[in-house]
Chain A
Amino acid sequence: MNEVIKITPATKPDDWATDQEVRWCPGCGDYAILKAVQRTMPELGVEPHNTVFISGIGCSSRFPYYMETYGFHTIHGRAPTIATGVKLANPALDVWIITGDGDGLSIGGNHMLHLIRRNLDCQLLLFNNEIYGLTKGQYSPTSRTGTRSPTSPAGSLESPVKPCAFALGAGGRFVARTIDTAQKHMPEVLKRAHANKGTSFVEIYQNCVVYNDGVFDQFTEKKQAPQTQIWLEHGKPMLFAGGTKGLKLNRETLRLEVVEVTDGDTSQVIVHDETNKAVANMLIDMPFPQFPVALGVLYCDPDASFDTAMEARHAKLAGAKAADFNALLRRGQSWEVK
């Protein structure tokens, strides 16, 4: 085809939305995340036809159907594997993985581990609602101990996994956390995730209105938020509660402590260095409500991505020798029968 294809630039959030009716429960946190993503896309300087959304199975995994991009709704837990093939086959594509706590950390935990350790260049958004929604409310691997559900009527006995700790433990180079309702902050986190070349892991606390409503209220409730949330910014002191409190590193116990900040004296408060993995681990591990919940980019220390390394290998091979298939067929010991 010789005709020049006209591409209408997708500059508005609506340009990134399909005509499909969104089928999440009314009030589901997924709507807010979809909105934030559609608002962020026009600001990333990317085109819908070079953008790919890949999901597994679960409520969150319906996401690709609502994005006017290329999309693949795969099978339970396996989105990282399909994303790996897509990115290796065409590294020019901008790949987003949408998963949930069950999809990504239970049935797909193994793939998540290897995706992160390989550092495939993609953005992975894990919608954490601490419950299995689509299968009607069973406890999930992130559910808190004691969670009552159809499969744990007397309360679950298991310890939950912390998604960000998992990502760091797997060797993740970019780990961030946000909240479905944080419409101001989430686009900033998404932009940072997109800018990072490698696996950008973003945990999003997402409220399931039907099976786990209000599970995050203790720290998402608006009035309490300044006291219960700490938004981290690289190079800035770790302050919350309107700048009246901060986090201090006790050099003797090597633990974080909450300190009062008076008269703007932040000398005790540590400065967020997002390349510091040890501190990132502490931030993720802070118990609530003794500490606020750490949000924003918790860790970012880029390293070479898997697809880049693979591309370099191919470029080297392509430059090294001309591939002669007939010569390949004759490689090794051969003999002529006359």
Chain B
Amino acid sequence: MATAVKAPADAGGTDSKIIQRDSVVVRFAGDSGDGMQLTGGQFTLSTALAGNDLATFPDFPAEIRAPQGTLFGVSAFQINFGSTRIETAGDQPDVLVAMNPAALKTNLPMLRKGGLIIADSGEFGERNLKKAHYAGNPLEDGSLEPWQLLAFDISKQTLESVKPFGLGNKDALRCKNMWTLGLALWMFGRDREPLINWLRGKFAKNELLRDANIAALNAGHAYGETAELAGPLKQFRLAAADVQPGLYRTVTGADAIALGLVAGGQLSGLPMFFGGYPITPASAILHALAKLGEFDVTTFQAEDEIAAIGAAIGAAWAGNLAVTSSSGPGIALKTEAIGLAVMTELPLVIINSQRGGPSTGLPTKTEQSDLYQAVYGRNGDAPLPVIATRSPADCFEATIEACRLAVQFMTPVMLLTDGYIANAAEPWRVPEASDFEPFPVLFHEEPPAEGAKYNPFTRDPETLKRQWVRPGTPGLMHRVGGIEKSYATGNIDYSAENHQRMTDTRKAKVDGIARYIPAQAVEVGNDHGPLVVVGWGSTYGPIRQAVELLRTQGHDVAHVHIRHIWPLPANLGELLRRYDRILVPEMNTGQLKTLLRDQFLVDAKPLNKVSGQPFRIAEIEAAIREMLDA
């Protein structure tokens, strides 16, 4: 369903209750059962429909339903939106919606001084205050002085609004998130209609809940209008962002990867096979693909991570575009099988939605600490291409690129994304399938000369890729496996010279891919100068905004963002040497930094953060300033 974007609401002239802003950061925080992710998701949609650019950051606990009211059970959703280009979910919220004391306590430190707190005073009873380890009631003791506070009984207001529907207390209180969303819509001058339509669809089978939720949404909105008369509430107005014309939708990284895989299947002309095992935060890709069977997609929920990749390898050998997906711990389990795919030279896309590690680490928090694992983490010399996605929308093209390299070079390819990208949403200009160059696969089907035996390691002299022969092809029976094979015949061969030659060939094939990937471009700034900030993956947003900010202040800073982690683009070393200083911000302890130093002998300096939270623009900005001043 396409909706035309409306002109921004009337600016409101000199009315002091209406604030004009270029961008605003709002954070919804509540109990994990309060529906904050749903509220955030729908607010995102309404923001997109209002024509603002946006970025989101769902920040939720590993526990599905932690005990109510506890500090560790708080779930939050942050959105940054505006009339300017938005690249990150925002450093500091301007508005914090706190549905209970625990949500206030855990999220308050992030709120900008002077920012607005909207709190549900109905939840600030003794019991909840105690659970959040508050000695007194912060809504009443003046401790929130540095901020603007709006506290009112959202619970009571919600119960009032849904009273006519006769819901039980528990169900009635579940409508609180819609009441809050209604108020937020009023604050930002948003149209309620798309959300009412969404509620009609969501509760199509339960009229009572449908009507109660719509009533709560309307009541929240009406409360804003009434309270406006009374005084304290303020409204924000943001102009629509100036973006490239076209059809837009919001996507999360997981959705964009699923769509990119379907595109990869279409462009290669192959059926797609996806082997997965449930793991946070990678499962969302399996969920999305499980619904797309009509696109010649087979999804297989395996008994474990090893079986997921094993089945994918089997499907690859049988001629499918094979994919497996997991997160760090699962990739660790798949490692031996990745080696098998390297050894048998079969195409395979391996997606790693990185999360905080090591071991179970921080399952729902983000990190970029699996770069070493991707590039180096196998037994033997087992090179494979590694590609990194930079944002939710970017996942689509990055995934297509991973599929292309896999089938064009007969190699497993690792696609690195992360928990932040997987869950975050941003507007995406919807492409046409015809925007992409197809890469049709031609299976080898011609039998060898009479009496000759077929060698499955018959290679393309240019790319060194081996031929892809599907079992079922007459006359080309052959055996593959993890044991070293003869370069010349494909039979088992342990001989010294053969292993040297096969190892060299596998390396040369992957190294040679550098000739078939785009040269490294400079995102922002000049291709030489005093300082370049080099990033990869989801640090794209904060690096770009920090660099742009400093450039507007007259600093000659550049931003280079690497998609092809392995092999690195052929021109990268030469490009990096044209800058006096190199800063590498990463959500790990310095993995790309090590790679760049090793490959190019450049003095790359690290900026590291492993808190489970994305970089703030200000953190990168400060590091650049410090480096410039040094």
How far does the Cβ of A238 sit from chain B's closest Cβ, in whole Å? 36
Is B474 interfacial (CB-CB < 8 Å)? yes
Complex formed: what's the CA distance from A253 to B322 in Å?
Answer: 54
Cβ contact within 8 Å between B307 and A73: no
Given contacts A84-B307, A329-B431, A333-B1, contact A90 B483 (CB under 8 A): no
How far does the Cβ of A325 sit from chain B's closest Cβ, in whole Å? 5
Complex formed: what's the CA distance from A82 to B313 in Å?
Answer: 6
Cβ contact within 8 Å between B430 and A329: yes
A residues in contact with B315, CB < 8 Å: 85-86, 88-89
Cβ contact within 8 Å between B248 and A337: yes
Complex formed: what's the CA distance from A117 to B160 in Å?
Answer: 53
Contact of A333 among B194, B273, B314, B472 (CB under 8 A): B194
Given contacts A318-B294, A335-B49, contact A85 B311 (CB under 8 A): yes
How far does the Cβ of B246 sit from chain A's closest Cβ, in whole Å? 6
Complex formed: what's the CA distance from A114 to B304 in Å?
Answer: 10
Complex formed: what's the CA distance from A231 to B304 in Å?
Answer: 38
A residues in contact with B262, CB < 8 Å: 325, 328
Return the CB mask of A1-39 against B: 1 if under 8 Å, else 0: 100010100000000001110000000000000000000
Cβ contact within 8 Å between B336 and A333: no
Cβ contact within 8 Å between B243 and A337: yes
Is B166 interfacial (CB-CB < 8 Å)? no
Complex formed: what's the CA distance from A93 to B319 in Å?
Answer: 12
Q: Which of A71-123 contact B (CB under 8 A)?
A: 71-75, 78, 80-90, 92-93, 110-111, 113-114
Complex formed: what's the CA distance from A272 to B170 in Å?
Answer: 60
Complex formed: what's the CA distance from A84 to B316 in Å?
Answer: 12
Is A223 interfacial (CB-CB < 8 Å)? no
| Residue with the highest number of chain B CB atoms closer than 10 Å, among A54, A82, A114, A328 | A82
Is A154 interfacial (CB-CB < 8 Å)? no
Q: Which of B41-63 contact A (CB under 8 A)?
A: 45, 48-49, 51
How far does the Cβ of A326 sit from chain B's closest Cβ, in whole Å? 5
Complex formed: what's the CA distance from A57 to B453 in Å?
Answer: 25
Is B585 interfacial (CB-CB < 8 Å)? no
Q: Which of B563-616 contact A (CB under 8 A)?
A: none
| Residue with the highest number of chain A CB atoms closer than 10 Å, among B244, B275, B300, B316 | B300
Complex formed: what's the CA distance from A325 to B244 in Å?
Answer: 23
A residues in contact with B263, CB < 8 Å: 325
Is B3 interfacial (CB-CB < 8 Å)? yes
B residues in contact with A87, CB < 8 Å: 314
Cβ contact within 8 Å between B310 and A84: yes
A residues in contact with B478, CB < 8 Å: 70-71
A residues in contact with B475, CB < 8 Å: 5, 7, 49
A residues in contact with B307, CB < 8 Å: 78, 80-81, 84, 110-111, 114
Complex formed: what's the CA distance from A93 to B477 in Å?
Answer: 13
Complex formed: what's the CA distance from A81 to B275 in Å?
Answer: 10
Count how many chain B residues have C-beta atoms less than 8 Å from C-beta atoms of the other chain: 81
A-B pairs with CB below 8 Å: how many? 224
How far does the Cβ of B337 sit from chain A's closest Cβ, in whole Å? 6
Complex formed: what's the CA distance from A114 to B259 in Å?
Answer: 30
How far does the Cβ of B382 sit from chain A's closest Cβ, in whole Å? 13
Is B491 interfacial (CB-CB < 8 Å)? yes
B residues in contact with A114, CB < 8 Å: 302-303, 307
A residues in contact with B447, CB < 8 Å: 5
**Considering only CB atoms, which chain A residue lies closest to B292 in the complex?**
A328
A residues in contact with B481, CB < 8 Å: 64-65, 71-74
How far does the Cβ of A224 sit from chain B's closest Cβ, in whole Å? 39
Cβ contact within 8 Å between A333 and B306: no
Contact of B245 among A50, A81, A111, A337 (CB under 8 A): A337
**Considering only CB atoms, which chain A residue lies closest to B483 in the complex?**
A73
Given contacts A74-B340, A78-B307, A88-B298, contact A334 B477 (CB under 8 A): no
Q: Which of A186-194, A293-301, A309-317 faces chain B?
A: A309-317
How far does the Cβ of B511 sit from chain A's closest Cβ, in whole Å? 26
B residues in contact with A278, CB < 8 Å: none
Complex formed: what's the CA distance from A30 to B48 in Å?
Answer: 66
Cβ contact within 8 Å between B472 and A74: no
Is A52 interfacial (CB-CB < 8 Å)? yes
How far does the Cβ of A36 sit from chain B's closest Cβ, in whole Å? 20
Given contacts A52-B471, A81-B311, A83-B314, contact A74 B247 (CB under 8 A): no
Given contacts A49-B477, A85-B275, contact A78 B471 (CB under 8 A): no
Contact of B474 among A49, A110, A318, A336 (CB under 8 A): A49
Is B312 interfacial (CB-CB < 8 Å)? yes
A residues in contact with B318, CB < 8 Å: 85-86, 89-90, 93
Is A320 interfacial (CB-CB < 8 Å)? yes
Complex formed: what's the CA distance from A82 to B314 in Å?
Answer: 4
Cβ contact within 8 Å between B311 and A88: yes
Is A130 interfacial (CB-CB < 8 Å)? no
Complex formed: what's the CA distance from A78 to B298 in Å?
Answer: 20
Is A323 interfacial (CB-CB < 8 Å)? yes
Cβ contact within 8 Å between A86 and B471: yes
B residues in contact with A90, CB < 8 Å: 318-319, 470-472
Is B2 interfacial (CB-CB < 8 Å)? yes
Given contacts A49-B472, A329-B431, contact A75 B248 (CB under 8 A): no
Q: Which of B243-283 contact A (CB under 8 A)?
A: 243-250, 259, 262-263, 266, 271, 273, 275
Cβ contact within 8 Å between B476 and A49: yes
A residues in contact with B470, CB < 8 Å: 90
Q: Known pairs A85-B300, A114-B302; list 5 more (Cβ under 8 Å).
A: A68-B477, A89-B314, A89-B319, A321-B294, A336-B3
What would 18 A/B residue contacts be, using CB atoms closer than 8 Å? A5-B474, A19-B453, A49-B471, A52-B471, A65-B479, A71-B481, A75-B340, A85-B273, A85-B313, A85-B320, A89-B314, A314-B298, A317-B294, A325-B295, A328-B262, A332-B249, A335-B49, A335-B249
Chain A to chain B: the 8 pairs with minimum beta-carbon distance, closest first:
A81-B310, A85-B314, A73-B481, A85-B311, A89-B318, A71-B479, A70-B471, A85-B315
Give the interface of B toward A (CB within 8 A): 1-5, 45, 48-49, 51, 194, 198, 243-250, 259, 262-263, 266, 271, 273, 275, 292-296, 298, 300, 302-304, 306-320, 322, 336-337, 339-340, 344, 430-433, 445-447, 453, 470-483, 491-492
